[in-house]
Amino acid sequence: MRHLGWVLLLAGLVTVGCGNSRLSAAPVASTPSASPTPEPTARIPVPTPVPSPSPTPGPRLRPLTSNGCCVQPFWSPDGQEIWFLDRPRPDAPVGIWGISRTGGAPRLVTTRLGVFSPDYRRRAYPEGGQTIIEDLKTGERWIAPNGGRAVVFSPDGEWIAWEVSAGEAPSLDRRVTTLWISRVDGREARPVLQLVGGGFSGWFPDGRRALVITRETSGADPFLAVVNLQDGSLRPIARGQRLRGAQISPAGGWVAYQSLFAVDPAQNGLWVVRADGTESRRLSVFGAYRWRSEGRLLVIPLEPGAPSHRVLEIDAATGAVRPLTDPSALRFRIAGGDWALSPDGRRIVFVSAMDRNLWLLELP
C-alpha cells in the first residue's frame, strides 16, 4: 500500500496519437485536482475562435499543438510555458516537455518524473523503494524518512507531508492513517494526528496549517477540518456524507469542496466555506473548478448535452455568477477534465475533446 500514492501521483501510462505510443501523465503539485469534466457523447466540431461582438476585450481561443500531441498539461512556475509528459517522436525520450504559451516547437524540460514543490525548485520521486527529495538548484539529494511513500510539498517547499496507513481496512471510509511531516532533508520528522476514513487535502499558504478530511469514529459522517500542524488540534469547518475535491484558495481564506450522495438533496453540490468555518454557501452551479484568485472560483459547469463548455467566475462571498465565455460566440469542449489554470488566473490550457490538441483560452 505504501507505493499506491506514487502510482496515483505519477498517473499511469496513457496511449494517444496516431501510430505513436506516448506516455502521458502530469507531475502533481500541492493542491489536489478538480472534478473531471465528462467526455462528450457526440462528435463535437474542432474548436473555432469566433470574434466577440463586445467592444471590450473578450475571451480568445487558439491552438498550441497539432497531430493530437498531448494530455494532462500544466503550467511552468512563471506561467510562460505549458508543460506535459510526452514522447513527441519515436526517437525522442519520454519526459516532461514544454511549449511556450505563444506557440512554437516543444522543448525537453526533464526526463526525470516526480512530484514538484510549488516553485518547482525541488522534486520528489521514488527510487529503490525510497523517496528521494532533490534540490534542482543545488543538486542536493535527501532520503525522506517515510518508507518510500508519496509526499506533498509545503507552499514554501521546505517541508513535506505524507500518510501512513494502519494496516488494511475493509473500505477507505474505515481506513486509519497517520499524517506525518518533516523538513525536506528529513529532519524534524513527526506524526501530527490520526485520520479516520479521510486524508490530507492540502497545505494552507502559511505552512502552519493543513486541510484534512476525517471522521470522529469509523463509519461516522466525514468532516473537513483545519489542523494546526504544531499541536495537531482540529477545527471542523464543514460536514457531509461524502466530501470530495477540497481546494484551498490562494490566500487561504476559503475552501471549495463537493458534497455528494447525501440523503438530503439540499446538501449535495459544490460548496464554499471560509477557512474559519463561517459563511458556508452552496453554489448555484456544479462542475469542475479551480481558484482563480482569492475569493474568486472558476467553474466549468457540468451540462450534459450542451453544445460547448463554458467558464464561469463565482464570487465566494456572495455566490454571484459572472459568465466569462459565451457558447454562442466561442465554442470549445474539454476532454476528460484535462485543463489547467495559469498562475495569474488569466489563461486556461486544455486538451480539445475533438482533436486531442492543446488549446489556449485567454479569459477576460
Measured between alpha carbons, how far is 335 from 252 in angstroms, rounded to an integer?
30
For residue 14, the model assigns a pLDDT of 33
Q: Where are the alpha helices (DSSP H) in the chain?
A: 4-10
For the cut 90, the answer to whether the pLDDT of residue 276 exceeds it is yes
The pLDDT of 340-359, averaged and rounded, is 95
Q: Residue 264 contacts by C-beta under 8 Å, 6 or more apart in sequence?
A: none
- Is the pLDDT higher at 242 or at 70? 242
- Is the pLDDT higher at 77 or at 15? 77
Residue keyed to cell 498562475: 343
Measured between alpha carbons, how far is 319 from 283 in angstroms, rounded to an integer?
6
The pLDDT of 276-293, averaged and rounded, is 96
Q: Do the Cβ atoms of 50 and 62 come closer than 8 Å? A: no
Residue 198: band (very low, low, confident or very high) from pLDDT cuts 50, 70, 90:
very high
Read off the CATH number of the domain in which 124 is found: 2.130.10.10
Question: Of the given ranges (23-27, 112-116, 122-126), which has the lowest mean pLDDT?
Answer: 23-27
For residue 283, the model assigns a pLDDT of 97
Residue keyed to cell 481564506: 253
Residues 4-28 have pLDDT tens digits of 355 444 543 333 333 232 323 333 3
Question: Of the given ranges (19-33, 67-81, 221-235), which has the lowest mean pLDDT?
Answer: 19-33
Distances 62 to 27, 47, 49, 55, 137 between C-alpha atoms, Å: 25, 8, 7, 20, 34
Annotate 299-326 with three-state secondary structure.
EEECCCCCCCCCCEEEECCCCCEEECCC
Beta bridge partners of 202: 211
Measured between alpha carbons, how far is 313 from 201 in angstroms, rounded to an integer?
23
Q: Do the Cβ atoms of 159 and 167 come closer than 8 Å? A: no
Residue 35, all three cell numbers: 472534478
Range of the domain at 129: 4-362
Residue 107: band (very low, low, confident or very high) from pLDDT cuts 50, 70, 90:
very high
The pLDDT of 165-171, averaged and rounded, is 72
> b/e string for 265-283 if b means 16 or more Cβ within 10 A?
eebbebbbbbbeeeeebeb
How many domains does the chain fold into? 1
For residue 87, the model assigns a pLDDT of 84
For residue 30, the model assigns a pLDDT of 34
For the cut 90, the answer to whether the pLDDT of residue 49 exceeds it is no
For the cut 70, the answer to whether the pLDDT of residue 111 exceeds it is yes
Beta bridge partners of 298: 290, 313
Question: Of the given ranges (2-6, 302-306, 332-336), which has the lowest mean pLDDT?
Answer: 2-6
For the cut 70, the answer to whether the pLDDT of residue 3 exceeds it is no
Residue 67, all three cell numbers: 497531430
Question: Of the given ranges (29-33, 51-55, 262-266), which has the lowest mean pLDDT?
Answer: 29-33
Residue 66's CB: how many other CB atoms inside 10 A? 9
Instruction: Tell which residue, 239, 215, 211, has the closest CA to residue 225.
Output: 211
For residue 67, the model assigns a pLDDT of 83
For the cut 70, the answer to whether the pLDDT of residue 51 exceeds it is no
For residue 266, the model assigns a pLDDT of 83
Residue 364: band (very low, low, confident or very high) from pLDDT cuts 50, 70, 90:
very high
Q: What is the DSSP letter of 48?
A: B
Average pLDDT, the chain: 85
